[in-house]
A and B are shown apart, each in its own frame.
Chain A
Amino acid sequence: MDDLLREFLTETSESLAVLDVELVKLEQNPNNPDLLGSIFRLVHTIKGTCGFIGLPRLESVAHAGENILGKLRDGALEVTPAAVSLILECLDRVRTIMTALEAAETEPAGEDGELIARLNALADGTGAPAPAAKAPEPEPKGSLFEQVGGLATIDAFIESLYMKVMADDRLKGFVADVNLDRLQAGQRDSLGMLLGGPSGGNEAALAAGHEWLVSPGMGAKDVAILDGYLNEAMTALEVPAKAITAIMHKLQQSRGLAGGNAPAPAAIVAPEPAAPEPTIAAPATKERKMTETKAKVEGENAEAKESAVAAQSIRVNVDLLENLMTTVSELVLTRNQVLQILRTKKDSDFAAPLQRLNHITSELQEGVMKTRMQPIGNAWAKLPRLVRDLAHELGKKIDLVMLGAETELDRQVLEMIKDPLTHMVRNSADHGLETPADRRATGKSETGKVTLNAYHEGGHIIIEIKDDGRGLPLDKIKAKVVQNGLATEAELTQMSVQQIQQYIFKAGFSTAAKVTSVSGRGVGMDVVRTNIERIGGTVEMRSVEGQGSTFVIKIPLTLAIVSALIVACGGERFAIPQISVLELVRVSPNSEHKVERIKSTPVLRLRDRLLPLVMLNDMMGLTSGAGVEATEHYIVVTQVGTHSFGIMVDRVFDTEEIVVKPVAPILRDIAMFAGNTILGDGSVIMILDPNGIAAASGQMNASGVGNAEVATQQGKSKQQRQSMLVFTAANDTPKAVPLALVARLEEIDVSQIERSNGQLVVQYRGQLMPLVPMAEDFKIRESGRQPMLVFSDRDRTMGLVVDRIVDIVECDLDVKLSSDRSGYLGTAVINGHATEIVDAGHFLTQAFGDWFGSAGESDFEIQNRRRLLLVDDSAFFRNLLAPLLSVAGYSVTTAESADKAMTLHESGDEFDVIISDIEMPGMNGFEFAETVKKSQRWRDTPMVALSSHASPRDIDRGRKAGFADYVAKFDRDGLLQALSETFTQLRGAA
């Protein structure tokens, strides 16, 4: 791309971002002339640059916007929301054109006539948009014309000049009977030419005798007043003082010439003697001279300041900074190594210079980090506009308060935090804040407040997003949790308010009763959480119903270098990022703290609380040399979200600055590692990921981290990863079932198992739960406790009796299908063993013959026998989902590709809903949706996308392609809910 164009694009997008913010500010303070001036200048610069590099379309749009702004600034128009909206629309058009420009390097074809017409209509009486089409020719650098800011500025100050003239009783008579618009256009163009600009073609206006602003009949006194006004007008437009002086000078000269060659104006209208009276003119000149001198001095000062600023900043390619950062990171590592060596050698000659090297490295590191630092306000720039648009759309009054916008953080972190932040603010404005009427009813002020606050705290950045809205509706969350089968009512009563609130971070969870265009349905907080955790941050939430919610995001200052605690366990060393370490506790049999056990689960009493413990050596599959109780241990108290837990390690060393390096691809699926690094002693060390540990140890069931991480990994690896529950039953062959299908794992005392009507049953949570053995000849235990997997669907539960629950394994599923045995989907390799994949649907029907049919009784009645087409290239998923959907009462047809599905279309099959995978060989899901939407008979059939990629961008793309909803692949509840919602909407629409 042309350098000039690239520069233009960069600069203009920056300007546009500023404009968004300023316009919204303007709407709030319509009478702030500084703001208007700055907005005008920005738009003006955009327009001017467009003309300069030859972008006529962009220029005409910008010019129309500028016209209005000029009027607003001069007070000819009032700042109204409508005007601001229109200008914002104009800027959006500029942005659209720029996007296309960036891609194609030429202006896209298109017609902006309608928009420009509306803009001009608003600009009203001006009626002088004609010159807009004529792009000013490129100017020799430094010409007065350019210094002034081109024709637009001239236009603007001429206009404001005449405004003043019209307001002045002494002068208005001179221009009373002329067409002011034509006069202004003529004056503008002639002045433009005078200053070295291009010919504007309106010089004809001069023929009317109004030369160089002097109208026929004006005396010297009048001219002096006129010039004073001109000076004022130009100053208000921030024309450089030097340029003003020069312009005034040129005008004087031209008038002199004109006076010499042209007939005296006095000849036409002569109320006063034409001869200028020197006595009056002289003071005026003197006065002017004084202002000129003053202006000159100021101008010089201003210019000096400006150039000083310009000389102090340069643009540097981001890649260069990235490379620099990498190099410095390596230097830090090397420094650490050298210092480590130094520690072992006392009295070395190197000691002093190495200490110096140490300091310099630290300073260099700090310096380079600073180059990457950007104020967080950059990530907020779009928010005022967003909130404003939201407020208009939702009919709410929203006040966005942004504090600490100057807080700086690493630009990489900034980029990654941008989207989650936007999403959360949108959520607060949409879901959090009530409508003005509701607010009044609860005694709050009509205007809702969303506060963003950023500040540094202990090497981290804290960002708070606070609203004074309705808070999280606890009852609704509870109802939804139960409805989605995430927990039972009984379990909910055990939970703290905060634990229940955490459910909003679960995939597919949205409590907004109404789905608005603003907040996507169900997609949201889980993605936010995943994104924040990906950069090593945490997000917490506090909410009081009726008073509002506060989200607190804690993120590291930089991703590259982090401080980490080095611990040892089972003979290996690990690093734990300091950000997640709350405190360290030493435990030994005779110390104040000791590890107690509930069954085999270790816990620690810490300040009147029970802290669940995770044994790192168990998690890592390492063998600890000594017995747990025998020796002393250290507990690293860690916080992930609102959950704290202790990681039990053998030893704790010191903290060290480490550079996080990604692990090798073959190790990336081990969720417990965040990366690896090289320590001061030169050895490689693995960095633990507390989120991964929490997820792996089952801590985070309530908050959905586990699910989110699975989803992320799927997104990353593009593979179908699945958590499988591995167990044995009947024989030694391991068996597995997708964890998502299992409601609970239970161990039930065999004495409780009863026999009824030839079937094994057990009393379970106040109901009779039928038990189904894995095989006909399978014997339940004689005594003790019998493990079983509990499957649950609405009010029905069944237990699948197994021998032993082995493990939960996250793996890629490559199922070799074998259809000859009922109850099995096939065999896959899990953890290096051939494992049979169990068909849960088969056993469900064994427990309840009517499980499939039972759907008709409940709320699923309406969708009973709904015909559903499932398109997925993976045989495994077709086999997994088909029974699931049948259970939910759909009549399921499957197709292994979009082409196959279209064959069904051609053969005349009809469906009520289509569920489609996105990543498929051949025609992908998006293309499929587009094809369906264009087809004859299926175009009204709602479609639901099923994908492991559920980023907001994909979801957006899915919507555009025609999908009614977008569901993560393993979100069984989410899928059923999306289907049910889709039908509910259809019914609502019908």
Chain B
Amino acid sequence: MTKNRKAAAASTEVEANDNHKDFVSMTIGGYLFGIPVLKVQDVLGQQRITRIPLAPPDVAGSLNLRGRIVTAVDVRIRLSLPPREKDEKAMSIVVEDGGELYSLLVDSVGEVLSLKSSEFEASPPTVDARWREFSDGIYRLNGKLLIVLNVARLLVFGNREAA
């Protein structure tokens, strides 16, 4: 959390600049990620998730969000990171894609950061191909890198790739 706060502090220096974009920050497997704030519908704590047998391993299950059924995607597994320990709690970021709601399971959700576009750059080509596919680019924060997740691509599963 302290890291997040530092990152937030770094961004507040350049407030009120037009070239700023707002991101919800989150940590997944020790890395800092961001999702454009307008994409995010809800942030939830630990939820009861129904496992779905036969589903791809990165689909954690389904959960009930105020009467709507939301598919939970474990971003750790999606990013080929080691799975969460049994007692580790996950938080959910609910996003919408193609009229469907998805809940992205992440380790923790931080603050909303307003980031300067001058600090943005594309992912270096040497980065893991899967990570490069799922990210739009990287923000260089003070002492930390924030990877911007591309929600739409993150939610393209194998069977829809050809579509």
Contact = CB atoms under 8 A, between A and B. Distances in A.
Contact of B69 (A661, A718, A719, A812): A661
B62 A684 contact: yes
A334 B64 CA distance: 12
Interface string A711-726: 0000001110000000
Interface in B45-75: 48, 50-56, 59, 61-64, 67, 69, 71
Contact of A684 (B69, B102, B161): B69
Most buried by B among A573, A664, A718, A829: A664
Given A676-B69, A684-B50, A686-B52, A665 B162 contact: no
A975 interface: no
Most buried by A among B55, B59, B100, B157: B55
Interface stretch (A367-375, A427-435, A548-556, A667-675): A667-675
A683 B51 CA distance: 11
Contacts of A899: none
B160 A666 contact: yes
B50 A665 contact: no
B155 interface: yes
Contacts of B161: 814
A812 B159 contact: yes
B16 interface: no
Given A665-B98, A676-B62, A683-B50, A717 B67 contact: no
Contact of B155 (A666, A673, A719, A812): A666
Interface in A641-664: 661, 664
A670 B51 contact: no
Contact of A685 (B50, B56, B160): B50
A330 B62 CA distance: 18
Contact of B159 (A622, A666, A678, A685): A666
B64 A678 contact: yes
A667 B53 contact: no
A384 to B, nearest CB: 42
Given A669-B159, A670-B55, A719-B162, A686 B67 contact: no
A683 B65 CA distance: 10
Interface string B92-104: 0000001010100
Given A667-B55, A667-B59, A812 B162 contact: yes
B71 A719 contact: no
Contacts of B59: 666-667
Nearest to B101: A664
B163 interface: yes
A667 B71 contact: yes
A572 B62 contact: no
Contacts of A686: 50, 52-53, 62
Contacts of B67: 330, 333-334, 678
Interface residues of A, number: 33
Nearest to A334: B67
B69 A678 contact: yes
Interface in A799-818: 811-812, 814
B29 to A, nearest CB: 21
A657 to B, nearest CB: 15
A620 interface: yes
A142 interface: no
A983 B159 CA distance: 39
Interface string A912-925: 00000000000000
Contacts of B55: 666-667, 670
A621 interface: yes
Interface residues of B, number: 27
Most buried by B among A334, A667, A670, A814: A667
Contact of B163 (A677, A682, A719): A719
A572 B64 contact: no
Contacts of A812: 158-159, 162
B64 A664 contact: no
Nearest to A616: B53
A564 B140 CA distance: 54
Interface string A820-835: 0000000001000000
A622 B53 contact: yes
B100 A664 contact: yes
Contact of B48 (A661, A683, A719): A683
B48 A666 contact: no
Contacts of A682: 48, 64
Nearest to B48: A683
Interface in B143-163: 155, 157-163
Contact of A621 (B54, B61, B69): B54
Contact of B53 (A334, A621, A685): A621
A719 B54 contact: no
Nearest to A669: B159
Contacts of B54: 620-621, 670, 672
Contacts of A811: 159
A677 B54 CA distance: 17
A661 B64 CA distance: 12
Contacts of A330: 67
Contacts of A620: 53-54
Interface in B117-163: 155, 157-163
Contacts of A621: 53-54
Contacts of A570: 53
B71 A683 contact: no
Interface in A507-549: none
B92 to A, nearest CB: 13
B159 A719 contact: yes
A666 B157 contact: yes
Contacts of B157: 666
A678 B159 CA distance: 26
Contacts of B48: 682-683
B64 to A, nearest CB: 5
A685 to B, nearest CB: 6
B17 to A, nearest CB: 38
A812 B161 CA distance: 10
B61 to A, nearest CB: 8
A677 B157 CA distance: 22
B63 A684 contact: yes
A666 B98 CA distance: 12
Contacts of A572: 50-51, 53
A685 B162 CA distance: 29
Interface in A682-700: 682-686
A963 B153 CA distance: 40
B30 to A, nearest CB: 25
A667 B63 CA distance: 14
Nearest to A620: B53
Contacts of A672: 54
A684 B64 contact: yes
Contacts of A718: 163
B77 to A, nearest CB: 12
A72 B62 CA distance: 66
B5 to A, nearest CB: 35
A151 B61 CA distance: 69
Contacts of A334: 67
Contacts of B155: 666
B153 to A, nearest CB: 13
Nearest to A682: B64
17 contacts: A620-B53, A661-B69, A664-B100, A665-B160, A666-B55, A666-B59, A667-B59, A670-B52, A673-B52, A676-B69, A678-B64, A678-B67, A684-B63, A684-B69, A685-B50, A686-B62, A719-B159
Interface of B: 48, 50-56, 59, 61-64, 67, 69, 71, 98, 100, 102, 155, 157-163
Interface of A: 330, 333-334, 570, 572-573, 620-622, 661, 664-667, 669-670, 672-673, 676-678, 682-686, 717-719, 811-812, 814, 829
Given A621-B54, A686-B52, A718-B163, 4 more contacts: A570-B53, A684-B62, A684-B69, A719-B162
Pairs A-B, 9 closest by C-beta atoms: A620-B53, A664-B71, A684-B62, A684-B50, A666-B157, A670-B54, A678-B64, A684-B64, A669-B159
